[in-house]
Amino acid sequence: MTQEEKVTLYTLGALEAHEADELRLEIAESSQLKTQLARDRAMATLILASVEPVQPSPALKQRLLEQIDASLPATPPAASSPAAPAAGLRRIQRKPRNASAGPSFTRLRDERSQRAWPAWLFAGLSAVAAAVAVAVALLLAIRLQDAEQEATVLREQTAQLQRDAGVIQKALDAATARVIQLERDLDQAQATLAQTQQALAQSQSEAQRLTQDIATLRASISEREAALAQTQMEMSVLLQPNVRVATLPGIANAFRSATVTVFYAPQSTIAYVSVANLPPLPSDQTYQLWLINRNQRLPSSVFNTDASGVSRLIVRSTEPFSKFQNIGVTVEPAGGSETPNPAGPIVLGRL
């Protein structure tokens, strides 16, 4: 049983004595219970004021009279005072009256006395029924009020949940729209990235082609620079004073058509050599020049010819070319040798 129900029963006087005493102490210490007690008392007063008197049925009255008659003793009790026998004798010695003569005063008094007991009993029962009805109505009213309060709270909570659901739905719609926009932006970014990657691939291909072209141009420039340096060196040799020209013929059978021309100044240590009709050698062999002073043969430049049998080279010496009488060409292993090939020179001539 809850505290609210105990207060309601306390208002109606339906609690046990000890329970009523305990609850009275709790009500004295609790403002909430005091408020409920005042509310229950006011409601009980209103309900009692609104209850209509109930008239018991004749059958109920008859049954109650029969029960009362059955509970009375068969003979009156012994009198303990002088007045009692008189009353008893008066009741016993009553003369019978003719029924047609009408009721006597004593009979009317006895009937009124007998009627008073059922009336009092009916009034008590009506009060009990009214109290029970009041208690039931009060409990129902309290339960109804609590139910209405709970319903109000539930309605407020439902309204709040609906508002929260609306806010969440709006946020969800906004998030969905944002996701859709982000997906569109992502698709656009991916398309842009694909275009950028394609352009980058084209740029890389173009850069590779340009790199190859640059390498080719650099190689060509290097070749042209080397050729220019060679030409400048050749021109510097040819522009020396007292330049002489020596032609060296091929003396070996396989190199009879070869011609080696040497441009030199006797006082210079640099000479320009032009080779023609000398077939190119394999990669493991090379041509080598020798500067000959009587029986001394000094190794000099190594070279090879191109596919047409032509080569141009600058020959340097540690002494002026006037110190040497002859120049020869031999076939040597790749890299040259310190001593000439025992097979002898293939080209030989005087300076």
Find, among 308, 314, 348, 313, the residue nearest to 328 by Cα. Answer: 348
Question: What are the tens digits of pLDDT across the range 195-208?
Answer: 999 999 999 999 99
Give the total residue count for the chain.
Answer: 351
How far, in whole angstroms, is CA 199 from its chain's centroid? 34
What is the residue extent of each domain of the chain? Answer: 241-350
Question: What are the tens digits of pLDDT across the range 333-349?
Answer: 999 999 999 998 999 99
In this prediction, residue 141 has a pLDDT band, given cuts at 50, 70 and 90, of: confident
Place of tokens 């008392």: 41
Q: What is the pTM of this model?
A: 0.42
CA distance 124 to 121: 5
pLDDT at 125 over 60: no
Question: What are the tens digits of pLDDT across the range 240-270?
Answer: 889 999 999 999 988 999 999 999 999 999 9
pLDDT averaged over the chain? Answer: 82
Average pLDDT in the 110-117 region? 53
pLDDT at 88 over 90: no
* Complete DSSP assignment for 322-342: GG--EEEEEEEETT--SS--T
Classify domain 241-350 at the CATH class level: mainly beta
